[in-house]
Amino acid sequence: QKEVEQDPGPLSVPEGAIVSLNCTYSNSAFQYFMWYRQYSRKGPELLMYTYSSGNKEDGRFTAQVDKSSKYISLFIRDSQPSDSATYLCAMTHNSGGSNYKLTFGKGTLLTVNP
Amino acid sequence: SQTIHQWPATLVQPVGSPLSLECTVEGTSNPNLYWYRQAAGRGLQLLFYSVGIGQISSEVPQNLSASRPQDRQFILSSKKLLLSDSGFYLCAWSVGGGLDTQYFGPGTRLTVL
């Protein structure tokens, strides 16, 4: 079983739709979770960062973590064509200390159609 | 604010030629630095990371090497490129000894012919 599973898509939605992107993971020690957005031929940019379980909201984006189910989600409300990108989840189980590595999902390609 | 630079942006090299990709970070001190390769359908593969000058950890055995000659400079090298070295190379940094959130550079697209 892979440590992090992410549906690669592609996912195509109309403008204004609510988008749900998801990752599952197997390592119960993960407690820091991130979402990155990567436009074509660009480096990933950090979108959301959450610690442990719960929700975090930033504008049209909401990150949700369910540690009991080992499941994280990113919701995009009122999706825009500019949201078209690949979304990568990432996670780690230490803050500083000796662990400097993130475990990434393979990314979901999202297209928002005008 | 912190910025991260990579160059070149695009590179086309013949098989067997050497490689040198450079990454520099501005606006922070003693960062952790990382090199990743991203190939289509394979996600982000961590190649090397460094927690300080001259300290390099290798994640994947290959014909690539990394060096950190200065605090905010990270270099990826190869003596002889293989076709399989083609890909999108990303440098990233994170706060040294702090949160593991990583911030990525713009990347270098390498094509080996």
What is the domain extent for residue A45?
4-113
* 3-class secondary-structure state, position B84: helix
| Nearest-by-CA chain A residue for B107 | A43
Residue range B28-33: average pLDDT?
A: 91
Task: State pLDDT tens for residues A69-99.
Answer: 999 999 999 999 999 999 999 998 765 555 5
Q: Find all residues with CB under 8 Å of A92, minimum gap 6, and list them.
A: A30, A31, A32, A99, A101, A102, A103, B100
Q: Is B100 on the interface with A (CB under 8 A)?
A: yes
Q: Please give the tally of structural domains in chain A.
A: 1
User: Chain centroid to CA A82: how far?
Assistant: 17
Q: Residue ranges per domain, chain B?
A: 3-112
Burial of B14 from C-beta contacts in 10 A (0-12 / 13-18 / 19+): exposed
The pLDDT assigned to A1 comes to 67
Tell me the C-alpha to C-alpha distance, in Å, between residue B7 and each of A12, B10, B83, B95, B106: 33, 8, 20, 22, 9
d(CA B97, CA B91): 18
Q: Test B42 with A106 for CB contact under 8 angstroms.
A: yes
CB A111 within 8 A of CB A10: yes
Q: Test B32 with A101 for CB contact under 8 angstroms.
A: no
Under CATH, to which class is B3-112 assigned? mainly beta
| Rg of chain A, C-alpha, whole Å | 14
**What CATH number corresponds to the domain at position A108?**
2.60.40.10
Task: State pLDDT tens for residues A24-61.
Answer: 999 888 888 999 999 999 999 999 999 888 899 999 99
The pLDDT assigned to A11 comes to 96
Q: Output the six-digit token pair for B109.
A: 């697209």
Quick one: which of B92, B112, B71, B94 has its CA closest to B6?
Answer: B92
Q: Output the six-digit token pair for A75.
A: 């919701």
Tell me the C-alpha to C-alpha distance, in Å, between residue A53 and each of A3, A35, A49, A94: 18, 15, 12, 15
Query: Which chain B residues are within 8 Å of A44, Cβ to Cβ?
Result: 44, 90, 104
B69 band by pLDDT with thresholds 50, 70 and 90:
very high
Listing DSSP states for chain A in one string gives --SEEE----EEEETT--EEEEEEE--TT--EEEEEEE-TTS--EEEEEEESSEEEEETTEEEEEETTTTEEEEEESS--GGG-EEEEEEEES-SSTT----EE---EEEEEE-
